[in-house]
Every structure is written in C-alpha cells, then in structure tokens.
Structure 1
C-alpha cells in the first residue's frame, strides 16, 4: 500500500523533474547577486528556494535545498567586502525559512497521503456499489460510464447492475434522490435487494415489489436513526430479458427517464416513467405495470440518468440526447455498438455542459449477444 501511495505521489508531482524549479531559482539568485552592484544585493531572496521546494518536492529534497540555500548564502555573502554583506540577520531569515519549508513539506505530504487514502476508500466504495461487470455476460454485451458530479467523491446516488438468473437476465438502472453518503447507502441497499430478488424471483413484478419494499424499509430505518430521509426516493428502470423471447424485453419504469432503443433504422423511445418512484408506492393504487416492449436483435437499449437529460450549456439549453444519437446513427450505423454509444453520449454531455456536471451522470447501453457472432446467449449465465 505504501509503495502504491509513493508511486502515485511521484506521478502527481512528476518527481523526475520537480527539483528543477528550485534548482534554477537557486542558481539564478546566486549568479544575479554575484554580478549585481552593491546597491542590488538579492542573496536574501534565496529563502524562496526551500519554500519552492516544499511546494513541489519531497521531504528529503526540501531538506537538501534548505542546506544548499544556507551554504550558498554564506558563500556568496562572504565573497563581498564587509561593508556590503547582508549580515547575520538575513542568514537567520534564510535558516529559519528553510526549517519552516521542511516542516511545510512534511505537512503537505501527510495531507496528500490522507487524500489518497480517502480516494482509495471512495474507489473501494464505488466498486462495492457499482461492482465491475464482465463486458459480455449472461447473454448480453454492455457498456456503462459513471461520472460523479463531485469529482473528489467519485461515487454518488446513480446505480446500475446486471443479474443473471434461472428466469432470464435482469437489469436495473436508477438514480437516488439527493447526493452524499446517504444517497450511496440507499443505492447500495437497492442493489443488494436486486441481486437477491433478481436471481431468485421468477416474476419481474415480484422483483419490483421487493425493490419498493426495500426502499420503504430503508427509509424507515434511517428515519428511526434521526436522519432526515423521510422523503427520499429513487427513480429506476427494471428490465427483464426473457429466455425464449429474443425480440422483446419486459420493463417496469419507476418514474425514470424513458429508455431509448437505438438501431440501424433509427431510435425509438420506450415507455416513459409514468409510474411513481421507488418509495412512493403507497401513494398509488399499485406499482407500475410490467410492460413487454419490442426490442430487435440489432437494437441497443440505452438508459441514462437525469445527469444526461438535464445537462445544460451556457445558454441554459438541455442536452439534445435523442437528436444527437439519431444524427450519429444516421452517419454511422456502427454507433449502435454499446461501447461506442456510451462514449458518444458521455462526450456529448461533457461537450454540451462544458464539463460542468451539476448532477451525477450515468450512461448504460446493453444489447443481446447476436447468434451470428458465434456466441451462445446463455453462455456465462450464473446458476449458483
């Protein structure tokens, strides 16, 4: 672990050359002082050398530059006649400044190690919540990208997962209302229920019921702990790929963005999220219905969170997702490939918003593995 931290610190500051700026500053001050007149003595500026080293170098390198600065000060100052010397006052300034630079360098490195450790924790959390998925799994090929609005946190309330089961492959994509660790905790709770119910339950409607129940239980538990989670909810799309229906999917939409079917013949908008989000099922007569919708073998299912559809440019216009994808597919039908499709949407959102993400952004694309590719759609299905 410590080795990995040191390597990343080296990459962070490019440790192959960070000593160059303080070295050039040291040489420049010495040469300028030696070639200046007695009215322009700048040798005391050499205190800037260890200060510069503290900002870009390691602890030992900063200590070396502190010693070099003190030695250079003494050597250059004594080279002048007595009446022109800077004197012991500036020597103390250089020595104390160097010691403070060494302390500052140690504090900076300690903070950087703490930051890297926190980033490691965030990355581990992200892998736990959004577990890595094989690119061709359970009869599906897919690609996904997640961009956290908080670049330091690296994880937020968006979630997605694929769960193989004896009853067909299931897919869940969603977005928890709110941000921060509470949203991450809710996403983890929903994904845990999906992975269990998605495998064991035969009916997709039962999986949907389990998700709704889990959301309400989780909210009740957090409220009992005194947290203000009483109104928390999650939008989601639950998709089932029936084993013996190659040209359709089953779908339950909990108030989420409408999925898009992207194929060589263009794009189609699938059923919208007219149902209530997860957690609000008690406000309606029942959960959103399971709908069977056509999805051809050469069509890719594209699902996004509102970080995509609500991305705005400087003119406050929303990102035109459907129009952008339709134009890309018309120009090149290979853009229906999940990986290329996800990258196009990601780049389009970042370009449209100028890189200013105001919400977590998830893009997920999936399609059945084609028989013509020599693959068995059931290959890789987990049954244990």
Structure 2
C-alpha cells in the first residue's frame, strides 16, 4: 500500500467520504430554511459554522473550505432574503462565519500535514523493519512457519526482540532472541545479533560453535557501544538456536538463557523437557564447551511454539501472568497462522490491549509426509549426548 493511499488528504476526500458530505449539506439547508421561516427577530444563521466544523472531522481542507463557502453563501442569502444584507449585524455575522471557517480550514490543513509526516515516518519504519527483521518464509523444507511481532513502544513496529530462519543443506536453522530492554533503544543490539547470525549460520556446523561465535560478535558490539556512549551498562541478549533436520523426526536446541519453547502435540502443549540453558549472550567469554545441545522428538504433525518473555510476562489487571501453555493447548489443531492469530488476540485481551515489553511468537509445524527413514526410539536414546553436561548432572 503506497503512501498516497494511506493519506486522507484533500485529493480524494470525495471518494472516501462522499456519504458523510450529506450531513453538512443537509445542516446548511435545514438551518437556512428554518431561519427563513422563523420570525425576523430570531437569528439561526450563526449556527451554520457547525457545517465546516463537522466536515473537518472526516474530510480534507479542500472539501472543508467548500462547505465553509456554502455556509457563508447561505448566511448571505438569509440576509438578502430579509433585505438586511448590508446591515452591520449581518455583515458582522458573515465576516465572523468566514473567519471561523478559515480557521477550521487552517487547522484541517495542519492536521493533514501531520498525517502525511506520520505516514512517511511509518513507511521508513516499515522499510527498516523489512531490512532488520525480515519476514520468515511460510515454508522451509518440511516446516510450515508463521510469526507475529508485537512492539511495546506506542506506534512502533520493531523493538528488542528478533528472529530469523534459514536453510543450510538439509537442515533448517532458526534463532529467536530478546535484547535486554525494549523499544527503539534495543534495535541496534538486535540488528547486531541478526547480522552476526546471518553470516555465521553457514560457517559453523554445530549449535555450540554457532552460539560461541554469536557471543563473540555480541560482546564486540557491546564493547564498541560502551566506547562511544562512555557508559558501562549491563547488556545481554537471550537467544534460542535450533537445528531441525529435514530427514529426522527430531530437533536440536541450544538455549542461551531463553525461555523454553512449547511442543504442541495432540491437543497438549508442554515445554520441551530436559533443556538446560547456558548464560545469555554478551555476559562473558563463552566457548563451544559452555553450550549444550538438547535433542527432542519432533514428529510429523507436531508444532513447536517459540516465544520471548514479553509473552509469558504479560499481566492482566490482577497481576496474573499470561498462561501461554494453557491457551495454546486450545488451538493445537489449527494451522500455524490461525494459531498465532488466536494467541495474539488473546494475549492483547489479557494485557488490556497494551504489552509492557516487546513480544515475539513463532510457530514451526512439521508437515505430515512419508516416513523419515529413522527409528525415533534410537534417536531419543542419544538425547543425552550433549556437548556439555547440564549443571548438577
């Protein structure tokens, strides 16, 4: 949709508001006829100012000016009818109506300019979002994918949450992350991590190696930002990395302090069991040995729901957190788009229409297909072969 189509400017008010134009026209006609019918000492002409005032609420300055001219003409016609057009009282009424109509047109024009500026700013924000947070493909290999982003900042469409998905050989790799903080201030950090992921995703064969590379990139960015800003502020990014092989009914996960995703299967929604998170990115030097890989079953018909903490930390008026697993279980049989559509509406209703933090949702559904050629039991048997033993193991 282009910028011109978004504006309710003076160039197309008749097409968009022609039905509403009847209201001020009828008001002008009614006020004029009633004023001509009532006794001469009753003056209803000053009420004509309501016509341009109403027009300005739904039309542009051109149509508002036209209605204002009609109102002034009607006032003059009333004076002419009674033979007092040149009297001081009628001339003052006509002048006052003309001045008020001009003021209304002026403020209508100012409003239209601000609308145009806001539309331009929004178009720039949308272009920035398309570059920073590219829309996920609807299909990657055996996966059907849907995503939703809800920014906490008013009038913003991007913030500190991030996600990306790509295909490397016969594996789909996905990242979802959450920058400490929210809104526009976190965009730079989110951009740095996404850029590092898009470069490193093809260079490292395992998730621990990829996580370590991302940690190095994030710490370099934080160090450079601290030198520029001159502030030592604690920064970190939680992230979840996934490898989903196309020929195996499994998924592999490495968590860097990120919330555990939900596995939706047969009208049930439960967190992926046994996933132990590593520290978030940017906290300190971490190598591949500091990150573990968890393997879980991901069969045909399963849906994996990824999310950021802005979803589960959303509160209602009574301070209760959003019960994501309970709500998601109600819509496990729907497709990915319908699932996220219901969750988005339900989440906003729970939070009273506004979230306190950025929130992102991704649904990954493994489409039903032929047998993948591997025994699930044998794969799950190797589930405990992580790169690093979980704490306390």
Give TM class, smaller chain.
0.7 to 0.9
Q: How does 1:23-102 map to 2 (within 5 A)?
A: 23-80=25-82, 82=84, 86-102=89-105
Give the CA deviation at 1:253: 0.9
Pick closer, same or farther for the CA change 1:173–1:282 going to 2, 3 Å: same
Pick closer, same or farther for the CA change 1:80–1:353 going to 2, 3 Å: same
Corresponding residue pairs, total: 366
In structure 1, the partner of 2:108 is: 105
In angstroms, what is the RMSD of aligned CA positions?
Answer: 2.9
In structure 1, the gaps of 5 or more residues are 375-384
User: Once structures 1 and 2 are overlaid, which stretch shifts more, 347-356 or 209-218?
Assistant: 347-356
Question: Would you say the 8 A contact 2:8–2:59 is kept in 1?
Answer: no
CA-to-aligned-CA distance 1:86-144 (integer Å, 9 cap, x gap): 42222211111222222222211111111111111111122112212321123321111
Give the CA deviation at 1:309: 0.6
Q: SS state of the match for residue 55, structure 2?
A: helix
Q: How does 1:205-284 map to 2 (within 5 A)?
A: 205-226=208-229, 230-242=233-245, 244=247, 246-264=248-266, 266-270=268-272, 271=274, 274-282=277-285
In structure 2, the partner of 1:154 is: 157
| Alpha-carbon distance between aligned partners in 2 of 1:224 and 1:22, rounded to the nearest angstrom | 61
Question: Would you say the 8 A contact 1:22–1:52 is kept in 2?
Answer: yes
User: Once structures 1 and 2 are overlaid, which stretch shifts more, 131-140 or 171-180?
Assistant: 131-140
Q: How does 1:114-153 map to 2 (within 5 A)?
A: 114-153=117-156
| Alpha-carbon distance between aligned partners in 2 of 1:299 and 1:285, rounded to the nearest angstrom | 29
User: Once structures 1 and 2 are overlaid, which stretch shifts more, 206-215 or 261-270?
Assistant: 261-270
Pick closer, same or farther for the CA change 1:356–1:182 going to 2, 3 Å: closer
| TM-score, scaled relative to structure 2 | 0.84
Pick closer, same or farther for the CA change 1:250–1:194 going to 2, 3 Å: same
Pick closer, same or farther for the CA change 1:74–1:371 going to 2, 3 Å: same
| Alpha-carbon distance between aligned partners in 2 of 1:49 and 1:156, rounded to the nearest angstrom | 43
CA-to-aligned-CA distance 1:44-77 (integer Å, 9 cap, x gap): 2223322333332122212211211211111112
Q: How does 1:330-349 map to 2 (within 5 A)?
A: 334-335=333-334, 337-349=335-347
Pick closer, same or farther for the CA change 1:355–1:38 going to 2, 3 Å: same
Is 1:311 the equivalent of 2:314?
Answer: yes
Question: Would you say the 8 A contact 1:162–1:169 is kept in 2?
Answer: yes
Q: SS state of the match for residue 343, structure 1?
A: helix
| Alpha-carbon distance between aligned partners in 1 of 2:103 and 2:78, rounded to the nearest angstrom | 22
Pick closer, same or farther for the CA change 1:321–1:91 going to 2, 3 Å: same
Give the CA deviation at 1:285: 11
Task: Tell me which stretches of 4 or more aligned residues in structure 1 moved more than 6 Å.
Answer: 283-286
User: Once structures 1 and 2 are overlaid, which stretch shifts more, 130-139 or 76-85?
Assistant: 76-85
| TM-score, scaled relative to structure 1 | 0.85
Q: SS state of the match for residue 239, structure 1?
A: strand
